[in-house]
Structure 1
Amino acid sequence: MTSDLPARAAPALIAMDAAIAATGLNVETRERQKLERIIARLLQPGAEHIDADTFRTALCTLRRKPWGSRLMDMTRRAGQVWVTRADAESAASTLDDPEPDDARLLAALRPVLRARLRDQGDSARAAVDNVRTDLFDGTGRILAAAELRTLALAAADAFDLPDADAFAREVEDADTRTRNRREEIEQTARARRKEEVQRLREWETQLVPFAEVPGLLRCSHREALRWIAEKRLPVARRVPQRDGQERWEFDPAELIALRPQVQAWRHDHTERGTPTPLAPDLGDRRVGNAVIAQVAALDRYAAHFTTARALKRRITLVTGPTNSGKSHTALDALARAESGLALAPLRLLAHEFRESLTARGVPTSLATGEERIDVPGSRHLAATVEMCPLNNPVDVAIIDEAQMLTDPDRGAAWTAAIMGAPARHLFILGAPDCIPMVRRIAELCGDPVDEVHLERKSPLVAADMPVRIQDLQPHDALIAFSRREVLDLRALLLAHGRRVAVVYGALSPEVRRAEAQRFNRGEADILIATDAIGMGLNLTIRRVVFAALRKFDGTQTRDLNAQEVKQIGGRAGRFGKHEKGIVSVLEGVGSPSFIHAMLAAPPAQLDDLRPQVQPDADIVQAVAAEIGSDSLFGVLVRIRRAVLRRDDPNYRLANMEQAFAIATALEGVEGLTLAQRWVYAMCPVDDRDNGIQRLVGWAADHAAGHAVPPPGTGRLPPAERAERSELERAEKRHKRLVAWRWLALRFPDAYPDRENAEIATTRLNDWIEEVLRQQSTRTRAELPQMPPRRRHHDRTDRSPRADERPRGRPRRRK
């Protein structure tokens, strides 16, 4: 087309001038060049004339974008900030009048908005709520009262309500009540937090240094030091100093209360030596940090799990790289046991554990954060790690992916499961990196450990040369480290006719499994994934190709470490499908020598072998009783300050920032018990999606005795026309439904509509999978081609593609 365009330029110009004269339509000078090009494409060969209708169509094509901009300007000035550019452009595309006035433009917009709002929900109110949610999620904007009214009136029009003004007033009144409630909650929260902080400060200001202890107890300096070492005298606060030392401070009220025991302590020391110290009975008074630490007893964490400690447990630690058969051996032992427990890091893997046991003829129930499947008569349970039951002894238990002990968000759950699993024989599975910490935990529990190390069933090799993107082959997995990078690579490969499946963390387990199955069946040539493939999915990957060698870990962007390269790269070369696994790097990303070095590196040496621990509901209640407060914020402040010294030789306090943030926000919600607040603080929400603010609103409804409705799916356009922003919106809505269902299992009366929540979840999953499937099956004829790929004659490329039933392995809580 480019070569013959100059030959048509003169006829197009003649045709344009003639059409302008014939129709009398005004064409701006700045429009003439683009209009001439449009007409050149419309002219038949040899023609120098177009009819009036064709000319009008050409002029409308030229002006659609400016009309869209005019509509956006008009809607913004009218307070309709919820109107999108897609709405405006869709309205502009329906116009056939080249010179419409503002009224005509707005008339074209009305049916577009009616259709959009009707797609947003089953009622005008649902449409208003979903549009507001989308706007807030996309831009962080909260509609002002006048803007909300324009939305309500448009929704009333879309649903043909008889009294639009009445509906708008109803929406405005509800919004006013919501705003007032939110402000009241925030004010109450600030007041209560201030009160708790003030109470803590008042207590801290009356503490005294060690120099005053002998005088208060009427004892010698040496006796005071001895009684501190024997833990008879509680150190109320330990303040780190710049020189690395600590300044000890004491509560004088605690010391004075202990005076009557001084003579007995002296007698004990003289007559019977140093006895085992007991927690002193300090009476009814303000409680110091040392006493709180004794109550919480996180420095004696293993003792919390009384059922496990009462059993004579035996631990078998099974370690090995990916594809070494760790879970197969343990599942066989679990299936032979009369009762058992299989704990997995993900809901998807808990399902796979259950399926594997069921296939072996073992009836198995399921427990995850958001669902339960109770099989009558079953004595086996598959569950996520956080759902580990602690009070019912079983013969055999499995805990998978023990290297998660070092995870900053969920590591404490593995500590609790390993210490607390009430099994006579406990199988712990993981990468070799976990060995030192599992040994340490077993030592703290007093459990003997047998160690079994497995080797890969098929070799894993690093490629010597990087891979060009046009040389990707069937059974390749391309690895990136963000959703955006995955979708960018997907768009690139789709544009060149490649069949693609994707896996990333924002997708639900159901969609991830469906995408994995498409890849395994050969319906997709290439899998593009994040490190979400590192656990749980059975994939027939021949070669893993890293599209990035650096990742953002939540704190900083850093190089991949050896364990990450091994865990992800180890997915290549599935035993029985490919003779070997190959790990490579995409051309231009980095050097293959990095992959060589990481695969050859020994297990990482951990800087800190102390397992992470965090309080549970019982500890929270006990500390609250000691300090005489029902404030979860106050309890967590004291726990953070008091329950575990930073230099404790055995344990370290886990990261509890999100729980603390939720507790802080919940302070202003009246009517919830401390136990209920703690449940909310454990809820898996994403604060990047305004999850804490949404959670507080749900909690306020719960406290007020109102049923909390499940989040809706909102507008789901036809899958074949879905934009990336709409896919992301659906993923966020799925996350909200996960949080809602998690709470519904714990508060069924306040979250009663589980059936509709399940329907909405299924609808979202099906739609997301349809989007991914539709867009990855375009034909080559529709798309530009990549450069020809070099032919490779590796025999493994011709291995049969067989369906696999997923074999058993069952950021926040699952």
Structure 2
Amino acid sequence: MTSESPARRAVEAALAETGLAVETRELPKLERTVARALTPGEDRVDAATFRRALCAVRRKPWSSRLMDLTRRSGEVWITRADAEAAVAGIDDPEPGDARLLAALADVVRARLRATAETPAAALETIRADLFDGTGRVLSPAEVDILSQAIAGAFDLPPDADFVEDVRRTEQARHQEHEAIEQAARARRREEVRRLRAWEDSLVPFAEVPRLLHCSQREALRWIAENRLPVARRVPQPDGTERWEFDPEELVALRARLPEWRRESYEADIRGRGAPIPDQGTRKVGNAVIARVAALDRYAAHFKTARALKRRITLVIGPTNSGKSHTALEALAGAESGMALAPLRLLAHEFREALTARGVPTSLATGEERIDVPGSRHLAATVEMCPLHNPVDVAIVDEAQMLADPDRGAAWTAAIMGAPARHLFVLGAPDCVPMVRRIAELCGDPLDEIRLERKSPLVVAGQPVRIQDLRPHDALIAFSRREVLDWRAMLLARGHRVAVVYGALSPEVRRAEAQRFNDGRADILIATDAIGMGLNLTIRRVIFTALRKFDGTQTRDLTSQEVKQIAGRAGRYGKHEEGIVSVMADAGSLSFIRTMLAAPPDDLPDLRPQVQPDADIIQAVAAEIGSDSLFGVLARIRRAVLRRDDPNYRLANMEQAFAIATALEGVTGLTLAQRWVYAMCPVDDRDNGIQRLVHWAADHAADRPVIPPGTGRLPPADRADRMELERAEKRHKRLVAWRWLSMRFPDAYRARTEAEEATARLNDWIEDVLRQQSSRDHAAAHDAPRTPQPQKHGRPDGRHGHRKGGAKAADGRNGGDGIDRGGRPGAGRPGRRPAGRAPIGR
């Protein structure tokens, strides 16, 4: 006979004494719990202790039971955290459902009351949190149940109008959204029908001579000279293209044939090919649409810049080479000028740098304006470049963003369109070929200045162990979750930590950077969001991984990414040298050496990216006879741009197209207004497009669009990761709302309220991050753990590393939502656009 453990004997005795029943599956955990309560040498516990132990074992099943009960009753806003808080106070091992629900009711009542100042605000906050977190839209019945719960939480009398008002409003809203969806489907079908009818009317090349009354040889020559517009090029399986033509356009060109024949004859007599005629001197179908990207028409779109005698100075150098200082000195000495930055945070830094030099400077970003009376200088995000006010000097920073698939078109427009007599373009060496191409297209002379790094950058002799971390170290991870995992682990080891990642607002990032710079935090943990902006006194940059998820795939870091991030080490004037390393077991130092020594990556396509602006959208709409933004973008995307255009390529417009599609059923907005909505910085991973449609519907109905609130903000020292992420998402909503309020102030009226809410969120988030405690209040899956390096396929020479690293056409911050000066991209639509963290167009 085997001897029983003291805990088993204690459990059996307690069961006999109390008369309680225990299921077999509960016994192992119950025995472990009782064992911890036993006095050494004893094998008995009192009844009260046993009851507490049994309650501890059963709390998780109780919370699961509560979640099941609430879902059945339609109370979908109740969270597992609510259920866990409710069961935490139950001391009866055998409570019925009624007791569990009563405990939950008290918890939920308190949470609803603390969510906002008014019942209406509480309702909207809870709906928004559900929408952001799960994409769930409450049904009218669920809204009715929620409104009754909120009324009870706010102690409204039974005859209060709140519930009935919500019921009426929700019914009207539901009907409106149904009508929007039906109208959108109908309009999209009509636009697709219109496009297909046009495509069906196209004829093959064989019909061209008959319609034009010319020979086949003449038709081929005129196509080669770009006189005859090819309406559509359809790729064939054998690699060739089938050319299709609009018969109406061909017939309209018959009158030009004698002139073309005379020019061809004269050119042949001179023994050279005929010049391509000026596309602007004749009317051809689709010519207006082709202005989006065809030949040199895009450069000509910027009339003010083309009227100036511009010269471009390209300042190239790695991080810490003084590029900005060189250009700022010239800008500060000019009578007028502008500095264009990729991020709102950097626009602020440009403004501060100019102000420190005694130059009054205004600010313009997508969500804010600071007008300084009498100032003739402007700091702005790239998307906010003013195109019609000539200045003496302008700066366009981070020109390597020309290759970015989401925002590259903004850099094309800024460099081509900045109305400055002297334009400084700053960037990494990778951007040189594309900037040269743009200068050539604009006809602007270009000179280049190449700078070297001011302090040496060296690769460490060996990887870093966690116990070897020192003040002024910066750990680089590649997701928000990894950053917070490292933070929890280092706090538990007694380090003082600051963090920087893309989902944080510029204000919070700057505050965290300041804590690190002034010594209140020893170690910085960041994503590659630090690769652009932020002056940081980092001595040693340490990679926690050498692979990242870029929104599409997990891949090796590119040489440009390694250089941009590693270059943050060794701030000139603060440290004699910068050191780059990697955490032990996270990758190979030889990979870092290879990437740092590698020449600039060859860009797969040197054609600058372009996208339509409001004027082009209006012109295309007039050309095709439609006020549908969906139809306009479908025509631009599907029928016009030549894949082999020698000069330009169409930028990624997937998110704009997705927004246009969703807005199609919202009547009451002009085409220009819908285009503004399509440019709004939202992240569809957080259901941003659906929210945009709700706001647009209110705008179109002449109802004020209510700004998002902050929701319930618990004490910072008790906030968990879920609450932190919720606050970050609320901040994103406010960024988008404020962006729209700058364009539609009559509909988005409560700007002061939105700015105050933004400030409260920023302060709260910074308070949470400032907490130097390792206490973890998150759910079990969020508990701090040692972050594990990515071992599968890591670039360490031992797991299938591809020499030189995999290259990608984009430097997306996978999942990080890096703050932008304009459209997100974020991010990308759906997957992003990848990313769209907001910001300031």
Q: TM-score, normalised by structure 1?
A: 0.90
* Residues 367 and 107 of structure 1: CA distance in aligned 2, closer, same or farther (over 3 Å): same
Q: Does 1:312 align with 2:309?
A: yes
Checking the alignment, whether the CA contact within 8 Å between 1:9 and 1:40 is kept in structure 2 is: no
Structure 1 position 735, deviation (Å): 0.7
Residue 381 (structure 2) aligns with? 384
Residue 732 of structure 1 pairs with residue 724 of structure 2: no
Preserved contact between residue 227 and residue 277 of structure 2 (Cα < 8 Å): yes
Q: What does residue range 450-489 of structure 1 map to in structure 2 within 5 Å?
A: 450-489=447-486
- Among candidates 404, 407, 417, match of residue 404 of structure 2: 407
Is the contact made by 1:478 and 1:547 (CA closer than 8 Å) also made in structure 2? yes
CA distance in 1: counterparts of 2:191 and 2:785, whole angstroms: 66
Structure 2 counterpart of 1:526? 523
Counterpart of 1:749 in structure 2 is 746
Whole-angstrom distance in 1 between the partners of 2:55 and 2:259: 99
- Which of the numbers 706, 711, 735 marks the counterpart of 1:709? 706
Equivalences for residues 278-289 of structure 1 within 5 A: 288-289=285-286
Aligned length: 779
Question: What is aligned with 1:594?
Answer: 591
| One-letter amino acid of the structure 1 residue matched with residue 297 of structure 2 | R
Match of 1:160 among 155, 159, 167: 155
1:201 paired residue number:
196
Provide the aligned C-alpha RMSD in A: 2.9
- CA-CA distance at 1:316 after TM superposition: 1.1
2:80 matched residue in structure 1:
85
Structure 2 residue matching 1:193: 3-state secondary structure: helix
Q: Which of residues 413, 418, 428 in structure 2 aligns to 1:416?
A: 413
Cα pair 1:232 1:278 within 8 Å, conserved: no
Q: Aligned residue for 1:126? A: 121
- Given that 2:295 and 2:647 are in contact with CA atoms closer than 8 Å, whether structure 1 keeps it comes out as no
Report deviation, 1:645: 1.2
CA contact (8 A) 1:719 1:774 kept: yes
Pairwise CA distance, 1:307? 0.9
Partners of 2:11 and 2:208 lie apart in 1 by 100
Any residues of structure 2 matched to 1:135-154 within 5 Å, and which?
135-154=130-149
**How far apart in 1 are the matches of 2:23 and 2:222?**
95
SS at match of 2:771: helix
Partners of 2:515 and 2:141 lie apart in 1 by: 49
Is the aligned partner of 1:623 residue 2:628? no
Change (3 A) 1:381 1:149: same
What CA distance in whole angstroms lies between the structure 2 residues aligned with 1:255 and 1:345? Answer: 45
Greater shift in the superposed pair: 208-217 or 38-47: 38-47
The Cα shift of 1:441 comes to 0.8
Match of 1:805 in 2: none
Q: Return the offset for 1:126.
A: 2.2
* Structure 2 counterpart SS, 1:249: strand
Matches within 5 A, 1:507-586: 507-586=504-583
Deviation at 1:44, TM superposition (A): 6.1
Residue pair 1:156, 1:164 contacting (<8 A) in 2 also: no
Measure the CA separation in 2 of the matches of 1:296 and 1:403. 20
Q: What do residues 449-489 of structure 1 show as CA deviations (whole Å, max 9, x unaligned)?
A: 12111111110011231111222211111111111111122
Q: Does 1:277 align with 2:277?
A: yes
Q: Distance in 2 between matches of 1:141 and 1:539?
A: 41
SS of structure 2 residue aligned to 1:89 = helix
Q: Report if the CA contact (8 A) 1:350-1:384 is conserved.
A: yes
Q: C-alpha separation between the residues in 2 aligned to 1:288 and 1:231?
A: 13
The 1-side partners of 2:205 and 2:19 are apart by 98
- CA contact under 8 A between 1:120 and 1:127: conserved in structure 2? yes
The 2-side partners of 1:48 and 1:624 are apart by: 85
Larger Rg: 1
1:671 counterpart SS class: coil
1:776 CA displacement: 4.8
For residue 239 of structure 1, report the CA deviation from its aligned partner. 2.4
Per-residue deviation, 1:43: 5.9
Find out whether 1:171 has 2:166 as its counterpart.
yes
**For the residues of structure 1 that align with 2:93 and 2:534, how far apart are their CA atoms?**
56
State the shift of 1:500 in Å. Answer: 1.4
| d(CA) in 1 for partners of 2:280, 2:369 | 44
User: Equivalents in 1 of 2:514, 2:602: separation in Å?
Assistant: 36
Q: Deviations over 1:74-130 (max 9, x none)?
A: 323333232222212212222344443333322222221111101222222322222
Counterpart code for 1:237: R
| One-letter identity of the residue aligned with 2:194 | R
Q: TM-score, normalised by structure 2?
A: 0.87
Q: Which residue among 410, 427, 430 is the counterpart of 1:430?
A: 427
Residues 446, 88 of structure 1: CA spacing in aligned structure 2 closer, same or farther, 3 A cutoff?
same
Moved more, 215-224 or 606-615: 215-224
| Aligned pairs for 1:328-347 within 5 A | 328-347=325-344
Query: Which runs of 5 or more structure 2 residues have no equivalent in the other structure?
Result: 269-273, 777-782, 787-820, 826-835
Q: Distance in 2 between matches of 1:690 and 1:447?
A: 43
When residues 202 and 35 of structure 1 are mapped into structure 2, their CA distance, relative to the original with a 3 A threshold, is: closer
Q: Give the 3-state SS of the residue equivalent to 1:404 in structure 2.
A: helix
Cα 1:459–1:761 shift into 2, 3 Å: same
Distance across 2 between alignment mates of 1:208 and 1:72? 62
Q: Deviations over 1:356-410 (max 9, x none)?
A: 1011111000000100000000000000000000111111111111111100100
- Structure 1 gaps, min length 5: 1-6, 787-808
Per-residue Cα deviation, 1:136-182 (whole angstroms, up to 9, x for no partner)? 33233333444333322211110111127964443343333323222
1:259 paired residue number: 254
